Structure 1
Amino acid sequence: MTPAQLSVAFFLQMFVIIATCRAVGWVAKKYLGQPQVVGEMIAGVILGPSLFGLLAPDIQHMLFPKESKTILYVGAQLGVGLYMFLVGLGFRSEHFKSNAKSAAAVSISGMAAPFLVAVAIAPWLLSQNLFGKGIDTFQATLFMGAAISITAFPMLARIIYERGLTNTPLGTLSLSAGAIDDAGAWTVLAIVLASFGGGPMVAVKAIVGGVAFVVLMLTLGPKLLAPLGRWAEREGKVSPSLLGVVLMLFMLSAFAMDAIGIHAVFGGFILGTVMPRGVLSREIKKQLEPFAVIVLLPMFFTFSGLNTQLNMVNNVGLLLVAAVILLGSILAKGGACWAAARLTGQDNPTALGIGALMNSRGLMELIIINIGLQRGIIGPALFSMLVLMAIVTTLMASPMFELVYGKKARERGELGALNEDEDDAPPVLASVRP
């Protein structure tokens, strides 16, 4: 295709992508009680070969020609990197300080049990040729452990916020555990990426570079970035010039992580966690969230959907693998978090609520498995199974939480009106309505 043809195809694609994601997201929110983003995850699969390509393959191929996937890929990476930057902006260190002991117990348990599942099933999955060439058992185990143990931290924050639980023991404990959990999963993924391909020097560059970047950002970052916060406070807003500086820093951070062989999302998230809070963080979220959530993230969901081929899971053996992954993920993650919460003194409804929330994978899972597919760690069939697991566990989160905790909490009068100000909203999707 010529550049002019690609341009025409791109704008038509974006019309279809945005329209489908908004429509399916609206249906999910209105009739299923799910956040908008859950419907958009499903919309991405609908637009791919699993449904649209199955029912109308010629039209689907015409709308999403092979040559245009490169453009979608770049937009998807920008979208998910910016999303993680916004997640980092909403990250609150006080969640760690107030619940460190219980949160660590829940988080460690919620990672240890999925990793035991990964140890058990990784050799089996390798024997089914579901991983890429050159992947050994150790790498497969680490990747599956990270994929199964990840928590949809932004969605967890959204559910807690919408139900008025932000400052309750359940809310603070869940957010603390989710943050620790995801930090651990991303660290494991970074190790897998660093060890995959290119020899030992590539791994050394990725690990040493990643550690150096994190240490630099966490130690010197707040001090170096403080003038940006004072600039915003002085003007009472984020001006175009200031927003330009922030975006340049985001691009540089994403570039640094990509260049050393990890991934752009790490750079975006770490930068977000050390940005000054107050006017700067609040106004950046207001200015960037709508475009990131409405335009860029749907590109990521669609790109994931185009790589999802559920029809590849087409025999009893692969269906069994998919079922084992799904059930193992749910029981290991939810059960371990429930047990840890109980052992650290939480009552049963609270522990069950924590287990239900922590069991959601959401967009975090899609990010991990997309990286795995792009780097050749997993094959298309396993990718599709993990997409299915991500959708099912995410769909389960809200109704399961309502079933095991919501009604009981209302009876105790714990779910009242929100008293928090606007800056207490979850970092992503709180201010963007369908």
Structure 2
Amino acid sequence: MKSLAPHADLQVATMMAGISIVLLTGLLLGGLGKRVRQPAVIGEILAGIALGPSVLGQFPGDLTHKLFPVATRPMLSAVSQVGLLLFMFMIGWEFEKRLLRPHRGVAAAVSICSVGLAFGLGVGVSTLLYSHHDHVAGHHISFLTFSTFMGAAMSVTAFPVLARILSDNRLTHTRVGTLALASAAVDDILAWCMLAYVSALVTSGGPKDLIQVLGLSVGYVILMFVVIRPALAKLVAYFGERQQWRHLLVMLCAGVFLSAYATTWIGIHSIFGAFLFGFVMPREPAVQLVEHLRKPLDHVSLVLLPVFFIVTGLGVDINGLHAYQYLELAAIVTVACAGKLLGAVVPARLAGFGWRESRTLGLLMNTRGLTELIILNVAVNLGVLDSQMFTMMVIMALVTTALAGPLLPKSSALMDTATVKVPVDTTASAAPSSRA
């Protein structure tokens, strides 16, 4: 029976129906994932892939296109961007310098070594992959852009996913747990900086434009710390004293979107504006901010982020990989694991950690999760990755994150090591971490 609804209304309704299926499928697979020691984000990512061309698209009737018609996909992308920007704001807000205090020297060594080795191996493997993936939608991609992105993608550790894995395995206050959190925090900052450079490299038309983008970016960072940071502190104090948290929440969301617009205008991706706005956000008063700001934002992301997973899943087509690309995939996964595992194990051993702790640290630093998907989607938007390369990198993100659950030792196995009481507001970090 033909619908009597106007075409525009029917498109919006179709999008809403698709979102409802995404939410329910993600809830189901996320719950199943927890039963096999996997963070919920693994199930939600798999839900996005399952509803895309890789699984549902293989059934008769072209079900993927019926659920997510091409006409509705721009709307889906817009909805996903709102959730993504708020999530990036929460990641920036979650970063705490106090994480670094217990293991400053070791955390710096682990982070620099794991990022450096992973980046180097990523650039190395890109020399083998480049000739097969140097054109995207008819446009040539320079080796510098491709290899720099591959290095950045290999270097990332997903801080929110890591925090959730530590909590689920009761490792948060162990020595290796606090070191992993500190190292991952530094890793993410370095990875975002590298990705910002890649973004500037792609959007600039030449050396002159690149210098302009980098100059404006530096100026914007200074503005955020010198002007916006103290202004936010005053706003929090003003509205907090009057208990007008709803007004403050609305103003913060407006600030996130304006900051995202500013970085887009400069020539780097909008996620950097959202992340930086969260980075300069005050952390005190912690209890009130968690209750009145972080928890509501987390509830919003609970609904909006699954849309990001389906947008990602629609771009993943496992059936589109050729035989030789499975060899490429094997190389990518091997390099990704080797860079993080060796880059974390070696400095940990030199710092006096035992083999069990060092191996655990390497597994934790190898988790990429949602943070990797964000980086990959940025690369697709910038035209750096073709569909096959995107598919292989998403699989790599899933594999490296999924390895941690079954291979991590039980919490009791690490209880003989010194536990560390870190002055971290665990409720404050729960907001973005709950998405893991």
Alignment TM-score, normalising by the size of structure 1: 0.91
Offset at 1:5? 2.5
The residue aligned with 1:243 is: 249
Q: Which amino acid aligns with 1:4?
A: D
Alignment of 1:348-367 (within 5 A): 348-367=355-374
Q: Deviations over 1:336-371 (max 9, x none)?
A: 111121122222222111111100110111011111
Q: Which amino acid aligns with 2:97?
A: S
Instruction: Judge conservation of contact 1:164–1:416 (CA < 8 Å) in 2.
Output: no
Q: Which amino acid aligns with 1:79?
A: G
Q: Which amino acid aligns with 1:369?
A: L
| Residues 86, 325 of structure 1: alpha-carbon distance in 2 compared, 3 angstrom cutoff | same
Q: Which amino acid aligns with 2:91?
A: V
Alignment of 1:200-279 (within 5 A): 200=206, 201-235=208-242, 237=243, 239-277=245-283, 278=286, 279=288
Secondary structure in 1 matching 2:408:
helix
| Residues 102, 414 of structure 1: alpha-carbon distance in 2 compared, 3 angstrom cutoff | closer
Instruction: Judge conservation of contact 1:164–1:417 (CA < 8 Å) in 2.
Output: no
Offset at 1:281? 4.6
Picking from 7, 17, 37, the partner of 1:33 is: 37
The residue aligned with 2:110 is: 106
5+ long unaligned stretches in structure 2: 1-5
The residue aligned with 1:292 is: 301
| Residues 167, 206 of structure 1: alpha-carbon distance in 2 compared, 3 angstrom cutoff | farther
Picking from 289, 297, 316, the partner of 1:280 is: 289
Q: Distance in 2 between matches of 1:215 and 1:142?
A: 25
Offset at 1:202? 3.7
| Residues 144, 422 of structure 1: alpha-carbon distance in 2 compared, 3 angstrom cutoff | closer
Q: Distance in 2 between matches of 1:232 and 1:269?
A: 23
Q: Distance in 2 between matches of 1:285 and 1:5?
A: 34
Q: Distance in 1 between matches of 2:255 and 2:319?
A: 42
Instruction: Judge conservation of contact 2:178–2:422 (CA < 8 Å) in 1.
Output: no
Q: Distance in 2 between matches of 1:166 and 1:217?
A: 32
1:308 equivalent to 2:316? Answer yes
The residue aligned with 1:395 is: 402
Q: Deviations over 1:57-116 (max 9, x none)?
A: 522211111111101111111111111111222221112344221111111111111222
1:195 equivalent to 2:204? Answer no
Secondary structure in 2 matching 1:377:
coil
The residue aligned with 1:128 is: 132
The residue aligned with 2:427 is: 423
Picking from 96, 101, 122, the partner of 2:100 is: 96
The residue aligned with 2:354 is: 347
Offset at 1:130? 5.4
Instruction: Judge conservation of contact 1:228–1:276 (CA < 8 Å) in 2.
Output: no
Q: Distance in 1 between matches of 2:203 and 2:420?
A: 53
The residue aligned with 2:54 is: 50
Q: Distance in 2 between matches of 1:365 and 1:6?
A: 31
Q: Which amino acid aligns with 2:88?
A: M
Picking from 163, 172, 190, the partner of 1:184 is: 190
Q: Deviations over 1:252-308 (max 9, x none)?
A: 111111221211211111111221222235421111101212x11101000000000
Q: Distance in 2 between matches of 1:249 and 1:419?
A: 29
Secondary structure in 2 matching 1:199:
coil
The residue aligned with 2:19 is: 14
Q: Which amino acid aligns with 1:265?
A: I
Q: Distance in 2 between matches of 1:186 and 1:89?
A: 14
Q: Distance in 2 between matches of 1:250 and 1:106?
A: 32
Alignment TM-score, normalising by the size of structure 2: 0.91
Q: Deviations over 1:109-164 (max 9, x none)?
A: 11111222123221221111355332222211100001111111111112223344
Q: Distance in 1 between matches of 2:278 and 2:116?
A: 28
What do you get for the CA RMSD once the two structures are aligned?
Answer: 2.4
Instruction: Judge conservation of contact 2:369–2:401 (CA < 8 Å) in 1.
Output: yes
| Residues 424, 167 of structure 1: alpha-carbon distance in 2 compared, 3 angstrom cutoff | farther
Instruction: Judge conservation of contact 1:85–1:268 (CA < 8 Å) in 2.
Output: yes
Higher mean C-alpha displacement, 213-222 vs 67-76: 213-222
| Residues 337, 46 of structure 1: alpha-carbon distance in 2 compared, 3 angstrom cutoff | same
Q: Distance in 1 between matches of 2:216 and 2:101?
A: 28
Q: Deviations over 1:373-413 (max 9, x none)?
A: 1111010000000000001111112222236xx34214x28
Q: Distance in 2 between matches of 1:131 and 1:97?
A: 45
Secondary structure in 2 matching 1:196:
helix
- Count of aligned residue pairs for this structure pair: 425
Picking from 332, 337, 347, the partner of 1:330 is: 337
1:69 equivalent to 2:73? Answer yes
Higher mean C-alpha displacement, 264-273 vs 156-165: 156-165
Q: Distance in 1 between matches of 2:195 and 2:292?
A: 32
Higher mean C-alpha displacement, 342-351 vs 326-335: 342-351
Instruction: Judge conservation of contact 2:245–2:292 (CA < 8 Å) in 1.
Output: no
Q: Distance in 1 between matches of 2:191 and 2:403?
A: 21
| Residues 205, 283 of structure 1: alpha-carbon distance in 2 compared, 3 angstrom cutoff | farther
The residue aligned with 2:123 is: 119
Higher mean C-alpha displacement, 161-170 vs 260-269: 161-170
Instruction: Judge conservation of contact 2:229–2:280 (CA < 8 Å) in 1.
Output: yes
